[in-house]
Amino acid sequence: MSEGGIARKARKQKYKECLLEYISEYKSILIITVDSVGSNQMQQVRLALRGKAVILMGKNTIMRKVIRDAAVENQQLAGLLPHIVGNMGFVFTNEDLISIRDIIVANKVPAAARGGQIAPKAVVVPAGMTPLDPGQTNFFQALNIATKISRGAIEILTPVNLIAAGDRVSSSAVILLNKLGIRPFSYSICVVTVYEDGAVYDAKFLDMTDDELGARFGQAASKLAALCFGFNYPCMVTVPHSFGNALKKLIALSLATEYVFDESKQFKEFLDNPELLAAARAAAGGGGAAAAAGGGDAGGAAAVEVVEEEEEEDEAAADMFGDAGGDY
């Protein structure tokens, strides 16, 4: 083997040892993409992360092989393999992921538009004076941009929506932006995926608050409970609903048989005293004040009828999903 081959093999072995060391030392990994990111910008990010995280770049083929071999003992690492694509790298850390992500994306470098590239955002040329002389008005006319000559220079009359987000940048747009000295885009390292304690998820979920997480968990639990009720399969998420449905039926039986227990006592009092029900509605802001003002036998009868109809609906609705069966 030549000296060059020996050196390459030694570098690969050193890289493998380094990657395996980081995997065992750090519990979290941020997968980053570095498209259009220069070496100086990369160095600035490394300095900002010093003592908090480390960045490891490398060839995708070597990364895949090392992680594939390591996944034999730790199968959770296999979730990283589909994300080793393109110009990417790893950021290893044990710190708070949101703060590390913010440090990484905060380092942005302005860049000029290039012909043929896909615009990452919309570009609007503002109205106002330009540094161009009147001899270049033909260029603006070719682009259908309204201008006028003011104080020996070209003035753009209205803002120009030059490039839409996701569109391919045209050569004429590049020329105009260069003439005006506008560098509309900025590039930074992008955090796209997170590996945390064996779980792999999109980096956008780092911005979710505790309230949003709780709401999503509640929605998922409700859907799972609906499926379980549909299949008559009891599980932990159906237990609260089953107890609630059983209590509704017990209260209905209590009101029908005059057998009162603690949970049904309040409903019995409402049936016996409609004015009490009206007062409770008024206190809850449910519009019961009008019923209380009506008074008399007619008002009382109406209140009783409303309560009875509600009880009938409770009896028919065996669960919150509209299925009369499926109680456990």
Structural domain harbouring 50: 3-108+188-207
Q: Residues 193, 257: one domain?
A: no
- Give the CATH number of the domain where residue 130 resides: 3.90.105.20
- Is residue 63 within 8 Å of residue 84, measured between CB atoms? yes
1 falls in which pLDDT band (50, 70, 90)? low
Q: Please state, for a pLDDT cut of 90, what percent of the chain lies above it.
A: 23
Inside any domain, residue 52: yes
Q: What is the pLDDT of residue 10?
A: 87
Beta strand pairing call for 190-196 and 199-202: antiparallel
Torsion angle of the four alpha carbons 216, 222, 226, 232, in this order, in degrees rounded to the nearest 10: 120
CB within 8 A of 9, min separation 6: which ones? Answer: 1
Q: Residues 146, 251: one domain?
A: no
- Is residue 190 within 8 Å of residue 33, measured between CB atoms? yes
Q: What is the pLDDT of residue 290?
A: 43
Inside any domain, residue 213: no
Which of 87-91, 136-140, 222-226, 233-237 has maximum average pLDDT? Answer: 87-91
Q: Residues 203, 98: one domain?
A: yes
Structural domain count of the chain: 3
On average, the pLDDT of the chain sits at 81
